[in-house]
Amino acid sequence: MEFGVHFASLVYPQPDRAVEFCQAAERVGFGFALAVEHVVFPTDYASRYPYNPSGKLPGDHTGLWPDPLVWMTHVAACTKTMRFMTGVLILPQRNPVVLAKQLATMDYMSGGRMELGIGVGWLREEFEAIGVPFERRGRRTDEYIEAMRVLWADDDASYDGEFVNFAAISCNPKPPQGALPIIIGGHSEAAARRAGRLGDGYFPATGWDGDYKPLLAIIREEADKAGRDPSQIKITTGMDMDDPLNSVLRLAEQGIDRVVVPSAPLGEDMPGSLERFAAEVIAPVRERLG
């Protein structure tokens, strides 16, 4: 079981505090940190946020939401082993050729420590502000994944799709990992199917300590259809902070590979709170699970 810190860029947008937190988390045994994304935050919006009963994002439009790629680059330069993942980047809002270049460079500069967590997005008003169609964003996402992998794999690359087209181009440097792991975010059946078809991982991102078996079954089914090995698709999700040790053990029984822990409570009395979590949860879990 691998442990990560969630909402790290949102809780620690300040450059010095971000470095302090990630260095401390790395030291006590956390393996990765997640950076969240919204390019803009509308003052008023009718779209419904799917991860909160209120239908609204926590906080307000004046909060600090650093660009996740810039934030990850900053903290990666000040850490040694910790990996960094967007959790999640709204892929259809990005230019995939430019994004492929940015991510490959980040991976190259960090020694292969980057992961791309992606979602299709839910905030129509944000798409409108950026000038990207909200409709068909799922199909756009699938093409962007395929196109970026083509650019990461070979020089003289070509891709002919509905939303992405290029011929005989090269994008260097290549990621040291060969290709960045792409983790599909979202708790819907559509997201699980996309993870089975195209993902290196799956991140339901619900923070719900419940039954993930139906979603995992969908992933296995889709992976089998695509001729892929379902065991290679790593599952990341949240945990119950009221009973962290038992929560993680229950998740392990369901086949969860990685858990993310909210950064805010871990930042209290830092680094003491991080050290306590490592002693009370990370060490016992690793002792039991090996």
**Between β-strands 201-203 and 83-86, what pairing exists: parallel, antiparallel or unpaired?**
unpaired
**Cα 266 to the chain's mean position, in Å?**
19
End-to-end Cα separation, the chain, in angstroms: 9
What predicted TM-score, i.e. pTM, was given to this entire model? 0.96
156 Rama class: left (phi>0) / alpha (psi -120 to 50) / beta? left
The parent domain of residue 159 ranges over: 2-289
DSSP character string of 214-262: HHHHHHHHHHHHTT--GGGSEEEE---TTSHHHHHHHHHHTT--EEEEE
Q: 266, 19 in Cβ contact below 8 A?
A: no
Q: Which domain CATH number covers 45?
A: 3.20.20.30
Name 99's Cβ contacts closer than 8 Å, sequence gap at least 6: 91, 144, 148
Total of domains in the chain? 1
- pLDDT tens, the chain, 290 aa long: 999 999 999 999 999 999 999 999 999 999 999 999 999 999 999 999 988 889 998 888 899 999 999 999 999 999 999 999 999 999 999 999 999 999 999 999 999 999 999 999 999 999 999 999 999 999 999 999 999 999 999 999 999 999 999 999 999 999 999 999 999 999 889 999 999 999 999 998 765 556 788 999 999 999 999 999 999 999 999 989 999 999 999 999 989 999 999 999 998 899 999 999 999 999 999 999 97
